[in-house]
Structure 1
Amino acid sequence: MSDATPYVLVLYYSRHGATRTLAEALAEGVESVAGIGARLRTVPAVSPVSEATAPPIPDEGAIYVEEDDLRYSAGLALGSPTRFGNMAAPLKYFLDTTSGLWMNGVLVDRPATAFTSTASLHGGQESTLLTMLIPLLHHGMVYAGIPYSETALIHTQSGGTPYGASHLAGGDASRGVDDDERALAFAQGRRLGELSLALRKMREARP
């Protein structure tokens, strides 16, 4: 991917690896679309008083996000495990710093989506995804879920919602991302990649 190639920012927080696996599958879906790439980024953990507490470079996985990663993206995929039916604090901590982008309308008319992971079957997957879209709508982004034309959404026995990809990890986080969950994340990324290019073209055509 050259510097001139548009990209989707795949931004996630992951404690045990499941959300990261979904992020990687979604990024593969984005990159299956010709003409666009995916940029994987994560966020540092925060302390109980909501201050970032992490080394400058993560021990493994994606590097930490910077505001310019979001500023220059063509689209955004936001991933987090569930925390009482909402996104994890480290991800919200980053989003709370983006008011400058909001004030200048930087993200208006760019597509966005979300994905999540829970330990229990009814652990708040859908409420987490729905609450994650709220700041995206405040930024003027265009939310894209997963349509039921994706057959894995109909017969999945684990994760997967029309609001976004999800994973059921089990109480001890021992269940890996299964084929349906991975397929849905891939499809979500592919759709986001296509929409990112289409909406980018629309914005560039404006007088």
Structure 2
Amino acid sequence: MACQILVLYYSRHGSTQRLARAIARGVESVDGCEAILRTVPELDTSREESGDINVSISELKACDGLAMGSPVWFGNMAAPLKHFWDQTTSLWLSGDLIDKPACVFTSSSSMHGGQESTAMSMMLPLLHHGMMIMGIPYSEPQLHSTTTGGTPYGASHVANSSVQLSDDELALASALGQRLASTAYKLKHN
């Protein structure tokens, strides 16, 4: 039975989507783990959708682990992602997410654009659901050398210099996906 990791994101200009895909590759590098890439619907129906499938509450309930990402919006998670979490009360009441591992990731247009506060804002509903939050440990060498994105709070991207992820950002996103998947696999099979 495969360990299913939900990689859930909202992306406005593609940077958070690129991080989601890098995390998914990290997840799938772990034997027995499968990444399920999902997004949330736009609140503004005049905006174009990302092309990925929208998440369902049942997919969130069934996942063995969760990676969640959002661009920085005034130091907070994006409204479409927050709107999705506002609909998860049934999972909170039933305790379906308790003890599942989770991590967060984000992107901003500047180095000091609010990545850490956005990561922490995404952690709040996860903590209320009883999930176990994972970051990136300093044993990852790129965390010491990055001049773009990547924090102990989670993977990140600074989009001011390039729309492409830097080598450090890619390595940290992949490492976070691997760590999440390995932990979820151990929890599921113990």
TM-score (normalizing by structure 1): 0.88
Q: What displacement does 1:79 show? A: 0.3
Post-superposition CA distance 1:6-46 (Å, at most 9, x none) = 21000000111110000000000001100110000001111
Separation in 1, partners of 2:3, 2:26: 15
1:8-19 superposed matches below 5 A:
8-19=5-16
1:182-193 superposed matches below 5 A:
182-193=170-181
Counterpart position of 2:167: 179
The residue type paired with residue 71 of structure 1 is K
Candidates 85, 91, 104, aligned match of 1:114:
104
Candidates 85, 103, 117, aligned match of 1:95:
85
1:169 matched to 2:166: no
Q: What displacement does 1:193 show? A: 0.2
> Is the contact between residue 116 and residue 167 of structure 1 (CA under 8 Å) also seen in structure 2?
yes
1:200 matched to 2:188: yes
Q: What displacement does 1:61 show? A: 3.3
Q: What displacement does 1:60 show? A: 4.6
> Is the contact between residue 110 and residue 200 of structure 1 (CA under 8 Å) also seen in structure 2?
no
Question: Aligned pair count?
Answer: 190
Counterpart position of 1:130: 120
The residue type paired with residue 169 of structure 2 is E
> Is the contact between residue 10 and residue 78 of structure 1 (CA under 8 Å) also seen in structure 2?
yes
The residue type paired with residue 132 of structure 1 is M
Candidates 42, 45, 68, aligned match of 2:42:
45
**1:86 match: secondary structure:** coil
Q: Give structure 2 stretches of 5+ with no counterpart.
A: none
Separation in 2, partners of 1:8, 1:72: 9
The residue type paired with residue 87 of structure 2 is T
The residue type paired with residue 169 of structure 1 is A
Structure of larger gyration radius: 1
Separation in 2, partners of 1:39, 1:72: 11
Counterpart position of 2:132: 142
Question: Which consecutive segments of 4 or more residues in structure 1 shift more than 4 A?
Answer: none
**2:51 match: secondary structure:** coil
Cα root mean square deviation, aligned: 1.5
Q: Percent identity?
A: 55
1:159 matched to 2:149: yes
The residue type paired with residue 78 of structure 1 is M
Separation in 2, partners of 1:109, 1:180: 30
TM-score (normalizing by structure 2): 0.95
Counterpart position of 1:73: 63
